[in-house]
Amino acid sequence: MSKKRQWRKGEKLRIVLIVATVILALLLIGIIAFTLIASRYLNMMNYATVNTTKSAEEISSIREDGSELISSGETVTTGKVELPPEILDPVIQGENVVNILLIGQDRRLGQGTQRSDSMILVTFNKTKGKVTLTSFMRDQYVHIPGHGNDKLCHAYAYGGMTLLNQTLYDHFGVEIDGNVEVDFSGFESIIDILGGVELDLTKKEARHLNKLEGWSLKEGINVLTGEQALLYSRIRSIDNDYSRTERQRKVLMSLIEEYKNQDLGTTMKMAEEFLPLVTTDIPQNQVMTYVMELFPMMSGAKVETLRIPVDGTFKGGYVRISGTNRKMWCQYDIDFGANREILQKIFDN
């Protein structure tokens, strides 16, 4: 080989190495920049701390708030929570399934941890390309570790995310990968930041909301503000709590459908405003992993909804509060095994 050809070959190799080095440097700079930007956004969120133990007086107040006195001669069930040993194994959750629990907390300004007014499990099944929104009824009569039989929503008031997650695991075998919580004022603000939420109201729903606040909502499609969306999500006087959980899922469904095709830049810009309003127990590095894994699948994901417990697997009525002469309305005598079978179909790959 001539010296000229050797020089050309060596020159080409140097050029390739220079180009590769530049590309690698740019890639490294991009990764560092992304990490710094992502960290800035993640630092905007509130991160959950271990809840302090509530006093006996606080616990009594939580249990009796909203309850009613048992009238003379009235027969009220004591309620049972049956957990047969054969169904105590966790529901099998595939490695490509991620469960994030969204918690709507019944807390006002100045209050500590309160009840979980809404609990919606968002299940991302990456294998099936499917997202499932599962509402857990707040009034389910369950056994809360350390507190006896009580309403499911009280688990969050007693011990925050940790106790609520443990209670869900004990009864339904659900393994929660992370929690995201927002209180009422935060919910309103997030909806307003997003420009409202589009919902199809029934004539009865529109009339009820108008009567409450003097609004001019109509039957059919409306764009609700944060305040209107919150009141809509809490309606149950015109029907029941089952319809209320359906309304909560409708709000979430509408937001997902509206924003699931947004580009990452637009989403990050909106996130800058609403991230300070949420609290999570997901570590920052895991949040970044979920964003990278789950954001791309959202645009083409099929979204389904579910309510637990499902119809035909429980009774509804008043249950006596242990050691008192008061009663509270619950879903009781729940067939947890049947509900686990339903959840298994969602979690299976």
First-to-last alpha carbon distance for the chain, in angstroms, is 59
pLDDT of residue 30: 41
For 232, phi then psi, to 5°, come to -60, -45
Contact residues for 315 (Cβ-Cβ < 8 A; gap 6+): 331, 332, 333
pLDDT tens figures, 230-253 = 999 988 888 888 888 889 989 888
Helical H runs in 173-278? 184-193, 203-213, 226-234, 241-259, 264-274
Q: What is the pTM of this model?
A: 0.81
* pLDDT-based confidence at residue 31 (cuts at 50, 70, 90): very low
Which residue's structure tokens are 């947890």? 336
* Residue bearing the bigger pLDDT, 22 or 170: 170
Q: Answer for the pair 176, 165: CB distance below 8 angstroms, yes or no.
A: yes
Residues whose CB falls within 8 Å of the CB of residue 178, separated by 6 or more in sequence, listed in order: 100, 101, 280, 281, 282, 286, 290
Question: How do residues 37-77 score in pLDDT, each as one tens digit?
Answer: 556 666 777 777 655 567 888 888 888 888 999 998 888 88
Do residues 82 and 315 make contact, with C-beta atoms less than 8 angstroms apart?
A: no
- Amino acid symbol at 256: I
Q: Which long-range contacts (CB under 8 A, 24 or more apart) does 280-283 make?
A: 280/45, 280/46, 280/47, 280/48, 280/178, 280/179, 280/180, 280/181, 281/47, 281/48, 281/161, 281/178, 281/179, 282/100, 282/177, 282/178, 282/179, 282/180
Per-residue pLDDT reduced to its tens digit, 87-117: 556 666 777 899 999 998 876 555 556 788 8
- The pLDDT, as a whole number, for residue 32 is 40
* pLDDT tens readout for residues 131-190: 899 999 999 999 999 888 999 999 999 999 999 999 999 999 899 999 999 887 888 888
Residue 67 DSSP SS3: coil
Residues 161/49, Cβ–Cβ less than 8 Å: no
> Could you report the per-residue pLDDT of 185-239, keeping only the tens digit for each?
888 888 888 889 999 999 999 999 999 899 999 999 999 999 999 999 988 888 8
Q: Which among 79, 92, 82, 136 has a CA at the least distance from the CA of 310?
A: 136
Selected residue with higher pLDDT from 110 and 344: 344
Residue 28 vs residues 33, 206, 282: alpha-carbon distances, Å: 8, 54, 26
* pLDDT in the model for residue 29: 40
Does the structure show a pLDDT above 60 at 318? yes
Q: What whole-number distance in Å separates Cα of residue 126 and Cα of residue 98? A: 8
Residues 258-313: pLDDT tens digits? 777 777 677 777 777 777 888 889 888 888 788 778 877 877 788 889 999 999 99
Find the range with the poorest average confidence among 103-107, 306-310, 316-320, 341-345.
Answer: 103-107
Q: What span, in angstroms and rounded, lies between the C-alpha atoms of 88 and 315?
A: 21
CB of 161 within 8 A of CB of 155? no
CA–CA dist 283, 266 (Å, integer): 24
